[in-house]
Amino acid sequence: MRYPGHVIKTGESDARLVKALKTALNRALALRGVLAVRLDPDNPRFGPQMKQAVQLFQARSVDRTGQPLKIDGEVGAITWAALFGDEQVPHSTASGDALLAQVLAVAASQLGVLEQPRNSNRGPQVDAYLRRAGVRPGLAWCCAFTYWCFDEAAAQLGRANPMLRTAGCLAHWNGAPGQGARRVLRAQAVADPARVRPGQVFIMDFGGGLGHTGFVESVLGGHVCTIEGNTDASQTREGGGVYRLTRKLVDINKGFIDYGD
């Protein structure tokens, strides 16, 4: 059964969804004795007992990356995929927009770029990213990387670069609508991953004016594969290179910027 595009939780009014979930939970939680859990699929109510069953399933399950599920008693895309399979949640591996597809191709060509020396925010290519965004070498460069990729892709297609020229992640978030871009808020993305598509720029806010950004390369339910600069395998915002990573939508706490047509 396909994910419905919203988080299912206590009070859900769609009896069809509640029945499908109760049936799947009964099958997944086939326990015996005092641990037995049995939900009535014909009861259309998502109440406390069903919430407890969801929490038990979450406590006993992992997501597609092998990480524990969040035990909150709510069924978002990640829990839905664990119950019904990855094929039942939104997924996208390619952009249908020519510019965004070219941006991703440019970003992928930069995988393996590293700071020189390490932990310096410097290096021949890193300096080029920062200069293209209009700032001096030596600064944090994740947003400058996204601008450089957009600029290169736009030049290759013979068109203007639509991205706001900035090296600031939060400045980009605030200024993108003025450039004609659309924004998808975190809550919208978590509720309906179909709103997120390859080529969008994600924005994270760490407080105090600090942020992090990169590209969505593909989407699978509640996870996105990304290409991002100034990071590393630990998913830090001050890493030493351009990496391909996997992140949960819920962890991208600001949202997404879409420059596609």
Instruction: Look up tokens 């203007």; give the residue.
Output: 160
Q: 3-state DSSP call for residue 165?
A: coil
Find residue 173's DSSP bridge partners: none
- Mean predicted confidence (pLDDT) in 187-213: 97
Domain boundaries, the chain: 15-88, 91-258
Q: 3-state DSSP call for residue 126?
A: helix
| Residues 153-164 pLDDT 10s | 999 999 999 999
Give yes or no for residue 151 having a pLDDT over 80.
yes
Other residues' Cβ atoms within 10 Å of the Cβ of residue 96: 12
Find residue 213's DSSP bridge partners: 203
Query: Which tokens in the block code for residue 17?
Result: 């969804």
Task: Tell me how far apart the alpha carbons of residues 93 and 216 are, in angstroms, rounded to a whole number.
Answer: 10
- Reported confidence tier of residue 239, pLDDT bands at 50, 70, 90: confident
Whether the Cβ atoms of residue 198 and residue 176 lie closer than 8 Å to each other:
no
Confirm or reject CATH 3.90.1720 for domain 91-258, answering yes or no. Answer: yes
Task: Tell me how far apart the alpha carbons of residues 25 and 146 are, in angstroms, rounded to a whole number.
Answer: 42
Whether the Cβ atoms of residue 226 and residue 244 lie closer than 8 Å to each other:
yes
> What pLDDT, on the 0 to 100 scale, is given for residue 254?
98
Q: Which of these, 1, 31, 35, lies nearest to 18 by C-alpha position?
A: 1
